[in-house]
Amino acid sequence: MSLSDVKLLFQFVGGLGMFLYGMNIMADGLQKAAGGRMKRMLGYITNNRLLGVLLGALITAIIQSSSATTVMVVGFVNAGILSLSQAVGVIMGANIGTTVTAWLVSMSEWGEVMKPEFFAPVLIGIGAFMLLFAKKERQKEIGSILVGFGVLFIGLSFMSGSIEPYKDAPVFAQIFTVLGSNPIFGILAGVVVTGIIQSSSASVGILQTLAMNGVVTWNSAVYITLGQNIGTCVTALLASAGAHKTAKRAAVIHLMFNVMGAVLFGIVMFIVFSLNGNWAASTINSTQISVFHTIFNVTNTLILFPFAGKLVSLSGKIVREKVQEPEETLEQKIMSHLDTRILENPSFAIETAKREVVRMGELSLDNVKLGENAVLTNNQESVDRIFAQEKTINFMEKALTEYLVKISNLSLMEEQSEQVKNLLYTVNDLERIGDHAENIAELAESKIQGDIQFSPMGQKDLETIFSYAVGSVENAVSARRNEDAESIRQVIKFEDLVDSTEEDLRDKHIARLANNECRASHGVIFLDIMGNLERVSDHAYNIAGYVKDEM
């Protein structure tokens, strides 16, 4: 191998690296520009599979990777956010969305103005100036998209330039003759290359680069493209390792969908090429690969869409239930909900964390309610449940904090960074509410063991302040869940009521102690319960304040 050959090899590798890096920068910028829209997409994913297909295509077009979309889907299924039935539509749509990259690559064939070397440098220049000097976050996001777009095309130009000197080399003709004449070899080549690169967009881009230099035949391109669609399933299959059986089924559905489509198209195209040998052996260009890639994925979706339910059933037969599968512990369920695969998309990861924070809030709220029952009715069972649930709350605090720290290390917008910070504060406040509920449970246990009964007036006073404290936590959790202003106003109202009531009841109780209307030992428990409820209300007020900051 001569020095010039080594130089061209380095140029190809560097071009491929710039192509992948540019795609990554562009996708990152698009995700940030989409912002809240990505978050709202989760709410739109219902049992309407057609809507799922559209969302799958849109998400993949934004993040520029069907593999990443499918890995996220596996994560969502594992976390229980999506059912298998809902996941099928999103997976089908992801295959359609991945064709966007192929169309971007083929743009260089649409005229001199669209060639990478013509406009890519100016895109990088404009984007770089926006990133360096723009003040607004939105302008920086646009700059990031432009830089990514430009780097992608410069990389494509490098790849194409490194291949051009060899376009008349006999080796290319021999390779594509073999791959084109044998569908199995062609499909396997596509599977292997895509499986190694872990990106169908990149492998299709390489094929299109070769096609730009006129060395790829129609039959070889078709079979390789079919194989590339199968190869993209490797990433999701690897991602499903260690996941629940339902998540494994989602990855298997992705594989079945692409394999069935490849077999069907492979047979049809083999017959067509057999009838027209001249067309089969003629060269294909980059745009024609994009056209075929799009037709294959859209047609495959149209054909298999009515049989989505059958795909779900078949996946259940391939990934079978274990005869005696041990039931998941609550801790295991929590960890599966905080699936690291969802970190592929910051917006979805934040939304997933919010759901778990709300779940933690519901547990803390339940403990406050149980504390009320334990104190007012001397119920030991409620005390025991508080202690058990407090362990779960502490576990959730640790797990959520670690997950939110991972999210904070992702590429986030300023608004998203603020949300993550507020969620971390919220987790801490919810854990403190759980601690105060545990304190109340310990006081209730002392009351039970000492067979202590409060006076009817004292009992009524506690019922009043408990109702206000429960109301403040209830509305704080509702504010976090729904992000509504009315719940925030209710938290403020209840917090004021708790403060004024606690002060009033403390004075009244001290007066009762002075008049010997109740024992001092009883009074200490009474005052401690009220003090803990006042702190519970303070933490609820903090949580509502974090939500208000985001609105």
Bigger pLDDT: 522 vs 90:
90
* 81-93 CB burial, b ≥16 within 10 A, e <16: bbebebbbbbbbb
DSSP state letters, 519-539? -HHHHHHHHHHHHHHHHHHHH
Amino acid at 133: F
Cβ 108 vs Cβ 153: under 8 Å = yes
Residue 283 pairs with which residues in a beta bridge? Answer: 217
**pLDDT value at residue 38:** 65
pTM to 2 decimal places: 0.78
Task: Check whether 335 has a pLDDT greater than 90.
Answer: no
Measured CA to CA, the distance from residue 386 to residue 368 in angstroms comes to: 8
Enumerate domains of the chain plus CATH numbers: 3-318 (no CATH), 332-550 (1.20.58.220)
What would the two tokens of residue 225 be?
């493209």
Task: Check whether 162 has a pLDDT greater than 90.
Answer: no
Cβ 304 vs Cβ 253: under 8 Å = no
Instruction: Please count the other Cβ atoms lying within 10 Å of the Cβ belonging to residue 9.
Output: 12
What would the two tokens of residue 78 be?
């594992």
**pLDDT value at residue 22:** 85
Looking at residue 94, the DSSP 8-state letter turns out to be H
| Mean pLDDT of all residues in 337-348 | 82
Measured CA to CA, the distance from residue 321 to residue 305 in angstroms comes to: 25
Q: Please state which of the ranges 23-32, 142-151, 284-293 shows the lowest mean pLDDT.
A: 23-32
> SS3 for 291?
helix
Within 8 A by CB and 6+ apart from 352, the residues are 79, 81, 337, 338, 339, 342
Task: Check whether 285 has a pLDDT greater than 60.
Answer: yes
Bigger pLDDT: 103 vs 432:
432
Cβ 195 vs Cβ 234: under 8 Å = yes
Q: Name the nearest CA neighbour of 315 among 242, 248, 241.
A: 248
- The angle that helices 183-197 and 200-212 make with each other, rounded to 10 degrees, is 120
Within 8 A by CB and 6+ apart from 489, the residues are none
Measured CA to CA, the distance from residue 198 to residue 201 in angstroms comes to: 9
Residue owning tokens 């910051």: 346
**pLDDT value at residue 382:** 94
Percent of the chain with pLDDT over 70: 91
> SS3 for 518?
coil
Residue owning tokens 């959730």: 396
**pLDDT value at residue 443:** 93
Residue 217 pairs with which residues in a beta bridge? Answer: 283
| Mean pLDDT of all residues in 182-202 | 85
Percent of the chain with pLDDT over 90: 39
